[in-house]
Chain A
Amino acid sequence: MSTTHALLGILAGQGISHGYELKREHDRRLLGVKPLAFGQMYTTLARMLRDGYIAEAAHQRVGGPDRVAYRLTTDGRVELDNWLSEAVPPAAYISAQLFVKVLVALVATPDEATARSFLATQRAAHLARMRELTQVKTAGGASVTELAVADYLLNHLDADLRWMATTLDRIGQLRAEVQA
């Protein structure tokens, strides 16, 4: 799962934010995703600054030391949009990545279109991979082990597809919840 892109998405939805706010919003909005450790967040922010995805917007002092507020740059927005438009390579155990992409799409964009579009792209990628795996069966000559491996992967991809279908049906409710 990409912490960089999750933070870019939160920042896109929040506007200007400092580190603590970003962590709080990350943990609150991306329900079900592992909470972000402060150390990991600051390392990631430093990398995002270095790559030009975010820029310092202001220094705020509230009681203690200065806190840096960040804003998304044009490069950051492009990186986020590219990430949101790309399918995750279909494989077993990618549910967390799929989930984060859908949630970030709902947080970072003004409507459901990006999330719907991502799910359609992902569905197509999953089906393409399932066709490849199915060809192992129809081509002939596969060992039983190879068939069993194909079955294992096909069943996991099938489960992902069922989840995508249900999530599409619930996308409006999900958006209302993460935007709240």
Chain B
Amino acid sequence: MNDPILEAKNIEKWYGPTPALRDMSLVIGRGEIVAVTGPSGCGKSTLLHCLSGILRPDQGSVQFQQRDITNVSEATRSRLRRTAFGVLFQFGQIVPELTAVENVTLPLQLGGSRFRDAAVRAQRLLDRLGVGDLAGKRPGEMSGGQQQRVALARALVTEPEVLFADEPTGALDSLAGEQVMVELVRLAGDHGTTVLVVTHNVQVAAYADREITMRDGQLETAGQVTVAGEAR
């Protein structure tokens, strides 16, 4: 494995009396594409939210580039999410009132870029993802697959260190899902982006270099063989 970029150490997360993550530890190397799989409710999305700073674990720590980000201020976590992390969800993350190019420029503008500069980068990325001709269209005028490629462009426009993708093809038919995954892997490879993709779909997991399987908030050890092969 390359240098560790992201590390969870014995993290726990509870929703009331229900444990979502139990003593979960793992290491993700720089530039790795890692799939987190497991049945519904096994805690894989909670893991992604804890690693990306959306949620704070109740116990344990999360380290990004060997720096503890568990207890940093909300402002620092927001900045990390805006600059170092990109997030791609199943659906509903692009703003319906904005055009594709406006959606993609949003993270850059929040970081202080001028619209004109941001729009050049956004257009370049939209072109690369095969939706450049939709730059002036709003999400309602696009197919689900096109919307998800715009969302991918928005997640990657800041050239984040880590891309977190939660069921990125879950709302798409198989061919549209394939187009999103193929572009995601190619772009991540070109920029050395680390990717953590949560999925229940084994065919999506096959795009990853490595699979981590979860069950009941923990790494699964199917047949007593640690599927993740990492850090426990």
Contact = CB atoms under 8 A, between A and B. Distances in A.
A167 B208 CA distance: 25
Interface string A107-149: 0000001011111110110010011011001101000000000
A69 interface: no
B167 interface: no
Contacts of A49: none
B221 to A, nearest CB: 9
Contacts of B208: 131
B225 A121 contact: yes
Interface of B, helix, strand, loop or mixed by DSSP: helix
Contacts of B178: 137
A115 B209 CA distance: 26
A22 to B, nearest CB: 28
Contacts of B206: 127, 130-131, 133-134, 154
B223 A130 contact: no
A128 to B, nearest CB: 9
B108 to A, nearest CB: 27
B202 interface: yes
Interface in A124-180: 124, 127, 130-131, 133-134, 137-138, 140, 154-155, 158, 161-162, 168
Secondary structure at the A interface, as helix, strand, loop or mixed, is: helix
Contacts of B224: 113, 116-117, 120
Nearest to B206: A130
B223 to A, nearest CB: 3
Contacts of B181: 138
Contacts of B202: 127, 130, 158, 161-162
Contact of A127 (B185, B186, B211, B223): B211
Contact of B203 (A115, A116, A118, A158): A158
Interface range, A side: 20 to 34
Given A130-B203, A131-B206, A158-B203, A124 B227 contact: yes
Contacts, number: 57
Contacts of B225: 117, 120-121, 124
Contacts of B115: none
A113 B211 contact: no
A113 B221 CA distance: 12
A124 B37 CA distance: 13
Nearest to B186: A138
21 contacts: A116-B222, A116-B223, A117-B224, A118-B223, A119-B223, A120-B223, A121-B225, A123-B222, A123-B227, A124-B227, A127-B205, A127-B206, A130-B202, A131-B207, A133-B206, A134-B206, A134-B207, A138-B186, A138-B189, A138-B207, A155-B203
A112 to B, nearest CB: 9
B95 interface: no
A116 B121 CA distance: 50
